[in-house]
A and B are shown apart, each in its own frame.
Chain A
């Protein structure tokens, strides 16, 4: 193939720009808005497609997923359509609910059904389900438990099955009933087995098995068996033999009872809806049906259930099971359950053991709240009965039990908490101020007991307690100390005050009173549990002096015997609470005790965690730039700790988190006009945080920014002093960049720093940057790690990056000591030796841009320039010698391009080749002088080559043709001659 000589066309960029500039016109609407609107519609339609679950979701009932309840988005009903994200979230919520199993789904529905008519409980009432997990976690035991049942061994199950079969054959109703009653009696005497020596896990597992057994029995239509299981489960609640586990047992067993109650209710509802005689179509009851609508058959079944329950011999199982089914009274008599609730509440008085009784009352309240939230008559009775029976804890029976089980009184009393809390919560819910006052008074006179005060504080509205803070401090001081230790009270008290507003005149008095006692606590565990809570109160309401005192006090308590080692979580929460309320970091770090406090975290991981917290809070709340040396020093110190925790084994994510936090800190530090100090801060930071690429990158950017700022102030005219400063900045960048791990970042930073240096007229520095850049290219890794851990080739990056670099080279003036286009030559040499991916054409693509750049370099004035920098155009002034040098380079480049095209001339590369050729043609058309015959020849030849395999992109061909035509019509030389040769096959 003949070598072609390069002839650049001459262009007037100013005119061209004017020709291609677009005329702006005002727009009628926001171009992105239309998209949002369609999005909303779509979501809306989807929501309508799933009405049953969608209906249930927005109603906050006791059973709804807590997330959807807390989420205000799901409650707001106006679709304003402004925010597609919140719409998506809403949709996400509904699908999450519908994704649950059908069983629970239907429960949810029926529940919200019944509640829609009653008044729905609002958010202020914390439902039982929230408390369950906490109780299970708190009340545990290492003792051996026993379970008494007839359902867990296989042989027994067989027996039951046989029995039910024989029962099926018996004809008369009476026999059936007799049989069933016999069965009920059966487990009371014969078949019961006691499983001894169960560990807590085993026990929980067994109970779960019972739950499963109940559901299976129910699904297999063994209703009597299901009832028996429910009765046996509630019998477990009579047993107080492993007393510390009792609250957890209550949670587990009542779960089963709830399941049972739900199953019976659903079954009756089913029966009531389908068995209407005369019509084949199932009749559906309205959500708030009355007893009159219920068909006789369903009523009869319901009555049977209650007759069966009424014949349960033992008191406690009878009460529990009836309570579980109380909702079913709805089928018999609308409103009857209120009567039943009152009756059951009264009957609870027959329970002798105070612990068993309090949980039974708790269950009644819980069921009552669920079934008839408005009905409250039984709740005060529950509470009153509790108070009047509370003295039984001192009774002989209880004392004996405790002595046998070696449980101390405080521990025993703490078992009452969850149950009592819940009862009190029911009392307090929606109660008037007066009523609360009355309750409080009743407690003071009835039993001024630590336990009671504690429960009152956790049940009542915190605001109510905060209003009477002083009264409560007195009550706590005076209450009898039976069992429940006072520090628990102070802790609960603190929790209340923290969320509510204490009247200002009481604040200090309360703190003094409380702290006086807290200070005296000897046991570090007791102490910290209080301090952890009260610190928030102090941060919220008081200043530096108090905070410092308290912190100092905590340090004093925690230091002996390295006690702090056991309480890292609590200490951490102290820091978190301080940070949540105190956003003035100057004040914080000027506290004498804050850093010593942080020093208490001796375990590396935790210390880093704390540092992170501080940094997070800093980046969130510090909105103004910082220049306080105290803050900066402290932060540097803490940052150092975080930085030093990063090592070779640290996870990528962790590094990113730490890096981000440090970066946001570095960016926030600002010394105003004192640039030198700023730079020295950056130098210091580099020394501190040298291991994290992210921070170094941020630092280089910041330094570059600094020198640009300098330039801005001087409007480009550097004095000697500022010139020295910007050179120092460049030097900073130059020595920082090589220490980065990532070659990609290095390349980018070299380029940008070079550009900044150029802008500041630091020619030799810019040269150095670019040289470094070019010499770094061979080290570029050939693959790039992407986020999803697949590696991709790095070539697209390189190509894009070099496009930018080549454009920069156009305006970089040549170093007089080196030859013409010294840097470009260097780049070409490097590219020549670079090992390219054989299946890609990156090199040729870069060459086309080099060609375009060379053609621009031949012009008299360049298309763009750097302010106050003389580029080659003004340096050489289109000197023919210079131009011919450029042409020589261009010729080599063309040679290279053609050579490459030749290597991919076989038909299997047809598509690739033609695409590449068209790319070359477009560059030639825009930058080559087509007045020269050789150029026209080259274009013609390439045009033919592009269509050789018939795989050329016709659209591009047409576009090129059109371009040639328009150029031709404007009289650009050569195009008229070229046009006839450009034919599309």
Chain B
């Protein structure tokens, strides 16, 4: 290829661009919805191509944590990705596109593969549920194919399990602690409640907490949101708990005997309604952590049940 030609090609590459725009700004869809949008091609000069195809795909990716790899090598194969949705479509037949901006509309119905469910989008560490739309423009040999992908988000249309008020009262004292030696723990008593442990994911976690008494000065009180991901099958499974976020609700040596509100918003994408399938499970928990001035900390764990509705 002579130099001149390759230069022209580069130029052409630069000059053409591909983009996907969905009609819904927030990109949130439910099963049975029609995903509508446009493929936008922008080019300076005429653009010959070998056809534009669109691929819509939904996948669950499972990953093994390094610490449990040894144990699971045996059934490693069973952890291959699970496809929930796959749909191919020719957006446009081979031909030429005029110079300037071309918008090609498309519509794809959202239906899972037979026997599968469209789980809600979830970005975790060991479990990832992701939905993508990919557009590809095939071009002649000399030109690179153009690609573009965008993620869209799935939420349940309806769910049998509904959030309900399940208040949890708690009292933390040195006596309630399980895995410490009692002698070097200061005397304290923290009481409180969580308004419900079965929550709608769109609503914040609420509750309150009162430091009734505490000998040692407190440095901080935090709510830690934890995901518990379980991968596996009948032969065995791996369960891992990792932190999503840590929200401080009290700073410094708070006043005693005064109720401090607990309040936490569930982050999008990183949380989803609690999920349990044959191959994997996603659960959420919170830890209420009291940090003393000497950096010793006391934790109390509360499992949560998250629902969409």
Interface residues of A (CB under 8 A from B): 171-174, 177-178, 238, 296-297, 300, 306-307, 310-311, 313-316, 318, 343, 346-347, 349-353, 356, 385, 388-389, 392, 395-397
Contacts and interface: CB of A to CB of B under 8 A. Distances in A.
B170 to A, nearest CB: 17
B249 A350 contact: yes
A392 B264 CA distance: 27
Chain B CB within 10 A, most for which of A238, A307, A352, A396: A352
Contacts of B98: none
Interface in B106-155: 123, 130, 132, 148-151
Contact of B251 (A297, A315, A395, A396): A315
Contacts of A346: 261
Contacts of A310: 204, 247, 264-265, 267
Contacts of B234: none
A314 B248 contact: yes
21 contacts: A171-B148, A172-B150, A238-B251, A300-B25, A306-B265, A307-B268, A310-B264, A310-B267, A311-B267, A313-B245, A316-B251, A347-B249, A347-B260, A349-B255, A349-B258, A350-B249, A350-B251, A351-B254, A352-B255, A385-B258, A392-B253
Chain B CB within 10 A, most for which of A178, A311, A316: A311
B249 A311 contact: no
Nearest to B266: A310
B250 interface: yes
Contacts, number: 99
Given A315-B249, A352-B251, A343 B132 contact: no
B252 A353 contact: yes
A338 B259 CA distance: 21
A300 B268 CA distance: 12
Contacts of B24: 296
B252 A397 contact: yes
Contacts of A347: 249, 260-261, 263
Interface string B47-90: 00000000000000000000000000000000000000000000
B91 interface: no
Given A307-B265, A307-B267, 19 more contacts: A171-B150, A172-B149, A173-B27, A174-B151, A178-B123, A310-B267, A315-B248, A315-B249, A343-B261, A346-B261, A347-B249, A349-B258, A349-B259, A350-B249, A350-B260, A351-B254, A352-B218, A352-B253, A388-B258
B286 interface: no
Identify whether the interface residues of B are mostly helix, strand, loop, or mixed.
Answer: strand
A313 B248 contact: yes
A73 B217 CA distance: 58
A392 B255 contact: yes
A178 B270 CA distance: 10
B244 to A, nearest CB: 9
B246 interface: yes
Given A172-B132, A172-B151, A350 B250 contact: yes
Contacts of B148: 171
Contact of B250 (A300, A311, A315): A315
A304 to B, nearest CB: 9
Contacts of A350: 221, 248-251, 254, 260-261
Contacts of A349: 254-255, 258-261
B233 interface: no
Contacts of B104: none
Contacts of B249: 315, 347, 350
Interface of B: 24-27, 123, 130, 132, 148-151, 204, 217-218, 221, 245-255, 258-261, 263-265, 267-269
A351 B25 contact: no
Given A307-B268, A347-B261, A171 B248 contact: no
Contacts of A388: 255, 258
Nearest to B225: A311
Contacts of B252: 351-353, 356, 397
A337 to B, nearest CB: 16
B25 A397 contact: no
Contacts of A314: 248, 251
B150 A173 contact: yes
Contact of B263 (A173, A306, A307, A343): A343
A953 to B, nearest CB: 75
B199 to A, nearest CB: 15
Given A352-B251, A395-B253, A174 B26 contact: no
Lowest 7 CB-CB distances: which A-B pairs, in order? Answer: A352-B252, A350-B250, A310-B265, A315-B248, A352-B253, A297-B25, A352-B254
Nearest to A185: B245
Contacts of A392: 253, 255
Nearest to A301: B25
Contacts of B259: 349
A300 B26 contact: yes
Nearest to B254: A352
Contacts of A307: 265, 267-268
B306 to A, nearest CB: 16
Contacts of A397: 217, 252-253
Contacts of B26: 296, 300
Nearest to A298: B25
Nearest to B218: A352
Nearest to A350: B250
A238 B252 CA distance: 10
A525 to B, nearest CB: 35
Chain A CB within 10 A, most for which of B27, B123, B259: B123
A173 B254 CA distance: 39
B261 A296 contact: no
A314 B251 CA distance: 8
Contacts of B269: 174, 177
A174 B123 contact: yes
Contacts of A306: 265
Given A296-B25, A314-B251, A343-B263, A389 B258 contact: yes
Contacts of B253: 352-353, 392, 395-397
B245 A311 contact: yes
Contacts of A318: 247-248
Contacts of B27: 173
B27 to A, nearest CB: 7
A318 B255 CA distance: 20
A610 to B, nearest CB: 51
A613 B103 CA distance: 80
Nearest to B258: A349
Contacts of A343: 261, 263
Contacts of A356: 251-252
B255 A389 contact: yes
A173 B132 CA distance: 10
A759 B217 CA distance: 98
Chain A CB within 10 A, most for which of B25, B252, B253: B252
Contacts of B268: 307
A782 to B, nearest CB: 79
A143 B170 CA distance: 46
Nearest to A177: B269
A178 B244 CA distance: 12
A306 B265 CA distance: 10
A681 to B, nearest CB: 74
A351 B250 contact: yes
A351 B263 contact: no
Nearest to B132: A172
Nearest to A238: B251
A370 B44 CA distance: 51
Contacts of B247: 310-311, 313, 318
B267 to A, nearest CB: 6
A14 B304 CA distance: 118
A388 B265 CA distance: 28
A307 B204 CA distance: 11
Nearest to B265: A310
Contacts of B255: 349, 352, 388-389, 392
B263 A352 contact: no
Contact of A171 (B149, B264, B265): B149
A884 B49 CA distance: 123
